Structure 1
Amino acid sequence: MTEFWRSTSVPGLEARRSCQERPCYRPHAHDAFSIGVIEEGTSVLTGQLDGPIGLEVGDVVVIPSGCVHACNPGEGRWLYQMTHLDQGWAASLAPRREAAHLFTGIRVLRQPGLRHRVGALNDAIFGEEGRDPPLERRVAALFREFAAASPVHLVAVATDPELLALLRPVLHRLRFEESNPALAELAESVGLSTYQLIRAMRRATGLPPLAWRQNARVVTARRLLREGRPIAETAHALGFTDQSHFHRVFRAHVAASPGVYRG
């Protein structure tokens, strides 16, 4: 069971409720600031981490845009909620100095009562704007609590501007070329060996080249589907060989089919 809802008044604000019983996500990153909360069961968080992190009921996970992660169920039924927000909008509501660190890494918060306030935000999105206080005030209040809370796990994700600048032509080709570019050709174009390119991509983005390409295509697919584009048209626009291939890749990143996501 998975359901999505988007705010009609705040662009980029999306809520999700989902129940899973088996591994459903491959490592991925969002183009949004994401807040997750575990409602039932246990799960394991992996990604740009030193090792897996076990999550339990009530845990709140704060994930800035671009941070690679995957969260999959432990044993049995896993019920969770996610809220995705435009990161620029989120940053404008956060207390400037105190909350700057919230946008530099993944944080796991185990704070009494925080679970219910994150759930209340999701309820407000699903119930739309008839509730008081408005969504902006709810988000701003949450960010004040996030900034004051001490995380039980903190994964700082450093960026390397020089490495990203070197890889910019590679990222452009991976994002926009219709077919998968050859790794040896990509590496040669920036003066690296294939092995060096894979290492550089992992260091700079958290993903190897072709996994980064798939993630970028799914991020674009989500935007197009939210805009109401047909599934077949979206798959074709992004260079997928057929709809079944698109469905497999999309589901591995979103744990839902394109049809369920589009609504």
Structure 2
Amino acid sequence: MAQVINPEFAKAYRKRGDAFRDLGNYEAAVKNYVRASEFYPEYKEAYVSLGDAYHKLSKYEQAVDAYTKAILLDPRDAELYIHRAAIYGSLGNHAEEADDFSRAIQLDPDNISNYGKRGAVCMLLEKYEQAIEDYTQLITVKPRFYWAYVIRGDAYAALGRYEEAIRDYTTFIRVHPEYPDTFNNRGKAYGAIGDSEKAISDFTRAITLSPEFAEAYANRGEMYERIGNHEKAVQDLRIAARLGDPYAQSFLDSLSILW
């Protein structure tokens, strides 16, 4: 027997599903959203609600399927792609996540936050050039969104464009000098261009802000060794090894062979 199409029944089931959702009973919400979609297969909002409920239940494949059905009904709704992108992210399917953000950007290029979201995914995919483009777009519109400079700096550093990375890290540090990771990253960039003095200064700032920062000790130890201060290098590397940095112990072992 064919399913009876009844939009009013569908809306009633969706409303009851929303009530269960508000109570935190997502399993019951799912059952009602499914019934809503059965009574009205072209009910986009039912699939959206169903996708959100599945997402809450960590049933990501079902959530993707629900949002895909909503997209088939309204392929020009940018928000649908944004939501499906988030679900793909939960699945670890970052290529699909990036594609959905790209589609959302095509449909709604004025929603600048999507550039930042796609840029973050591109960093995971090691698509650093695209990440730089996206964060540059974001910074152009929101120059005071300072975290964008940090991530763009990381992308520049990954491409070996250390001067540009230093510039972005410095922009962030001027406003937020309280984050040890940024000093550590800028220190590595200074080290990469051969400025050991500035690198040591940045690693020292990172350690001052976070005295248990193992990587910063290891990095500073490497810089001390580079400038010939073997005693300080060993001291820092021993601290880093004690704090659990895996690189520090191997570096110490290599130094013991050399010395």
TM-score by length of 2: 0.20
Greater relative contact order (Cα < 8 A, sep 6+) = 1
- Name the structure where helix makes up a greater proportion of residues: 2
Q: Which one has a bigger Cα radius of gyration?
A: 2
TM-score by length of 1: 0.20
